[in-house]
């Protein structure tokens, strides 16, 4: 029997209102030992994710580990996207074992969790496997994570994907929340974030808009 196509999004696609983004341990001490991704690229990708979530109003939890005593403050690029939002500081490497974080997850009450942070093999694997075990859907923004080596990052991603987590990228996250250029209310915001943090894609938007007055949709 033939399948009938419909002009409708797939159920696995994220929307601004269906998930909680958890940004974990984007801190100086953690970044110093990160070698799977350049620090500049990591900060840029984390900023893109943070500004996308803030712009679309996605529920977001910001959490640090030993902020005052060891690891240092969260990246300014992330704090700038969420002015005044409290950081939930932990002692546990696994965010999902922290009572304050879990209280906030339950207050928000969404069954989809999107994760990014440092390091992939410890601070992202822990909550990803724990949330999956409790029945949550888990997405991991791979290029907004980093680890002490490419091997450590890649094996961590493999482990989470094999357990059921869905990998994605920072630019993919932004564009998945927009998903239709006819959504004019968020068009300028989305392209503005892309122009600032979207690398070559952002340069392309700047060029097209400046030279030809181009406009998607």
Known catalytic residues are 123
What is the C-alpha to C-alpha distance for residues 157 and 141, in angstroms, rounded to an integer?
A: 10
* Residue 42, Cβ density class (10 Å: 0-12 exposed, 13-18 middle, ≥19 buried): buried
> In this structure, what token pair is assigned to residue 63?
């959490």
Least Cα distance to 97 among 122, 60, 68, 126 occurs for: 126
What is the C-alpha to C-alpha distance for residues 74 and 24, in angstroms, rounded to an integer?
A: 9
What is the C-alpha to C-alpha distance for residues 139 and 101, in angstroms, rounded to an integer?
A: 17
What is the C-alpha to C-alpha distance for residues 193 and 68, in angstroms, rounded to an integer?
A: 31
């Amino acid at each position: 029997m033939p399948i009938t196509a419909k002009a409708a999004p797939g159920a696995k696609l994220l929307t601004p209102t269906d998930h909680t983004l958890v940004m974990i341990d984007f801190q100086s001490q953690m970044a110093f030992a990160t070698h799977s991704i350049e620090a500049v690229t990591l900060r840029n990708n984390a900023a893109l994710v943070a500004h996308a979530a803030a712009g679309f109003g996605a529920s977001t939890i910001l959490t640090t580990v030993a902020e005052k005593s060891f690891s240092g403050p969260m990246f300014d690029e992330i704090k700038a996207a969420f002015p005044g939002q409290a950081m939930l500081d932990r002692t546990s490497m696994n965010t999902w074992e922290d009572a304050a974080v879990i209280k906030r997850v339950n207050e928000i009450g969404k069954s989809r969790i999107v994760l990014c942070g440092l390091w992939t093999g410890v601070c992202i694997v822990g909550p990803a496997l724990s949330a999956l075990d409790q029945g949550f859907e888990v997405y991991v923004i791979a290029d907004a994570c980093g680890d002490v080596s490419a091997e450590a990052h890649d094996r961590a991603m493999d482990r989470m994907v094999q357990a059921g987590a869905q990998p994605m990228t920072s630019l993919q996250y932004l564009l998945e929340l927009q998903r239709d250029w006819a959504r004019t209310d968020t068009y300028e915001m989305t392209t503005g974030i892309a122009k600032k943090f979207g690398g070559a894609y952002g340069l392309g938007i700047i060029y097209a808009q400046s030279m030809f007055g181009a406009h998607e949709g």
